[in-house]
Structure 1
Amino acid sequence: MKIRGVAHRGYPLRYPENTLSSYKAAYDLGFTHLELDVHLSKDGVPVLMHDPTIDRMTDGQGWVKDYTLEELRQFRVGRDETIPTLEEALLFAKDKMTVNVELKQYGELYPGLEETVLEILKKTDMLDQVYISSFDHYSIVKMRKLSDEVELGLIQWGATPAVVPFMEEIRARYLSLRTEYLTDEYVKLCERSGIQLMVWPVNLKWQFDKAARYPSVLCVTDDLEGFKEMYQERFQ
């Protein structure tokens, strides 16, 4: 049974987040969507890491942007993994999962990030399986200027109706917000506007029960096996 849900950074409760083993675990559990986080190495390669530094997830220290890809490969993630590239992750997910590529752009921290990510999407022939999202909405505007084809999404903390006209203007389809802000009114607004609403986190039963009231909403979870169990009980 396919599980309609978004595996957040793969399966971070069981595997090192944003690694190929974590993504494979999400696929093996039947999840339809995968979320991953992209930074840019010193030599301009999109690499996967949630934080702007490697301190939390590797045996090294420092900013992602201060290391070349070759240097980043020297650090260990978990026991024996390395920091993957966006290209590697997309090739794994190709013809298997829809991928939410979150740009970890902070102002102008990564000049050229949007252009480079778009090049990788084209190189891997994954434009039709990917949507690009970010908390940095200027980055998403830039991505739309670069491509009429790519699917776009915005991430925001709470719910505001003001975002809908902006999304229509830039033709962004996906909108992510925290589960606490999910309401009947907001779901109806997004459905009328053709917006695919996504909520996070959906790890606990109350979060699942709240989100499951709305079949159109996509749930973002860290606890894949727990979510799968609740999903099958509810929808099987």
Structure 2
Amino acid sequence: MKVKALAHRGYSAKYPENTLSSFRAAYDLGFTHLELDVHLSKDGVPVLMHDLRIDRTTNGKGFVKDYTYEELKQFRVGDRETIPTLEEALRFAKDKMRVCIELKQKGNWYPGLEETVLQVIEETGMLKQVYVNSFDHFAVQKMRSLSKDIELGLIQYGITPSVIPFMKEIDATYLSFRVEFLTDEYVKACRDAGIQVVVWPVDTEWQFKKVSRYPSVLSTTNQLERFKRLCEKLVQQ
């Protein structure tokens, strides 16, 4: 069964997040979308990590941006894996899954992040198979200035009507926010504006029930097997 939802950092509840094993597990479970987080190494290589620092998910310490790519590859994620590059992830997902790339930009924390990520997307032939989003809306705006063809999205915790005109201005089509803020009115406003709503997290049964009222909404989940079981149960009803 194909599961139309975003696997958050892959199957992050069971495998090391933002790793190839985590992505492979999501694909094997039938998930159609993959979400991952991108930073920039000291020497300008886009690498996958959620936090600004590597402390939580590797056996190393410090900021991602303070290490070269080769230095980052010396650290371990989980027992055996290394920190993947964006290129490795996109080559894995090509012709398999749609990819949501979150830019972990904060102001100008990573000079050149947007340009470098776009270059990797184009070089891997993934322009039509990804969309790029961020909490940093200036980063998304910059990405639009670099490419008129790439699909874009914004992330925010809550909901606001003011973001819709801005999304039209930069031609962004995905809007992600927390599941608690999902309402009939906002879903309709986004649908009328041609915006795809994406909510997170959808890990519990009450969250799933809330989202299931809106077939057009995409869910982001960490609990992939549970989410899949709930989807199968819904289909059988």
Same fold (TM over 0.5): yes
Q: After superposition, give the CA deviation of every residue in 1:39-98 in whole Å (9 maximum; x if it has no partner).
A: 000000000000000000000000000000000000000000000000000000000000
1:200 Cα deviation from its structure 2 partner: 0.2
**Residue 179 of structure 1 pairs with residue 185 of structure 2:** no
- Alpha-carbon distance between aligned partners in 1 of 2:131 and 2:56, rounded to the nearest angstrom: 27
Gaps of 5+ in 2: none
The equivalences for 1:85-100 within 5 A come to: 85-100=85-100
Whole-angstrom CA distance in 1 between matches of 2:103 and 2:231: 29
Cα distance in 2 between the residues matched to 1:232 and 1:217? 17
Give the TM-score normalised by structure 1. 0.99
Which secondary structure does the structure 2 equivalent of 1:143 belong to?
helix
Deviation at 1:161, TM superposition (A): 1.0
Could you list the per-position Cα deviations for residues 126-152 of structure 1 after superposition, in whole angstroms to 9, with x for gaps in the alignment?
A: 000000000000000000000000000
Distance 1:49 1:147 in 2: 24
- Point out where structure 1 has 5 or more consecutive residues left out of the alignment: none
Shift of 1:235: 2.5
Aligned residue for 2:96, secondary structure, equals coil
Q: Count the aligned residue pairs.
A: 236
Q: Which residue of 1 aligns with 2:162?
A: 162
Match of 2:229 in 1: 229
The secondary structure found in structure 1 opposite 2:102 is strand
Partner of 1:39: 39
Question: Which of structure 1's runs of 4+ aligned residues deviate more than 2 A?
Answer: none
Separation in 1, partners of 2:39, 2:121:
15
For 1:182 and 1:190, how far apart are their aligned partners in 2? 11
Partner Cα distance (2:56, 2:155) in 1: 23
- 1:175 is matched by which residue type in structure 2? L
Aligned to 2:213: 213
- Give the match for residue 23 of structure 1: 23
TM-superposition CA deviations, 1:199-218 (whole Å, max 9, x none): 00000000000001000000
Is 1:55 the counterpart of 2:55? The answer is: yes
Q: Matches of 2:206 and 2:194 in 1, distance apart?
A: 27
The 1-side partners of 2:213 and 2:235 are apart by 11
Q: TM-score, normalised by structure 2?
A: 0.99
| AA aligned opposite 2:160 | T
Task: Give the whole-Å Cα distance in 2 for the aligned partners of 1:69 and 1:29.
Answer: 31
Matches within 5 A, 1:129-208: 129-208=129-208
Name the CA distance, whole Å, in 2 between partners of 1:186 and 1:134: 20
In 1: Cα distance, 2:173 partner to 2:100 partner = 12
Letter of the structure 1 residue corresponding to residue 81 of structure 2: E
| In structure 1, C-alpha distance between the alignment counterparts of 2:197 and 2:34, rounded to whole Å | 15
What SS class does the counterpart of residue 17 from structure 1 fall into? coil
CA distance in 2, matches of 1:183, 1:77: 38
Residue type at the aligned position of 1:39: H
Instruction: Indicate the SS of the match to 1:188.
Output: helix
